[in-house]
Amino acid sequence: MNLKVVLEECDDGSYTVYVPSLPGCISEGKTKDDALKNIKEAIELYLEPVEDELISFEKPIFAEVTL
């Protein structure tokens, strides 16, 4: 998977990086390389499913609808 990220240099020379297509997915680093490494980890965590949000298909429920 390829995602575009935005690197912004801070006043102190460090970098903030975020993923426009993943709202709230943001990280930082002292160098560009650190920031890119950190955003990769943030993306993995962002995309990792949360157990509470997983749909269980072990016992499906079937229903009919009429249109």
Q: What is the 3-state secondary structure (H, E, C) of the chain?
A: CCCCCEEEECCCCCEEEECCCCCCCEEEECCHHHHHHHHHHHHHHHHCCCHHHCCCCCCCCCCCCCC
List of domains in the chain? 6-53 (3.30.160.250)
Q: pLDDT tens digit string along 12-66?
A: 999 999 999 999 999 999 999 999 999 999 999 999 876 556 566 667 667 777 7
Q: Tell me, what's the pLDDT at 66?
A: 72
Quickly state the pLDDT bin for 1 (edges 50, 70, 90).
confident
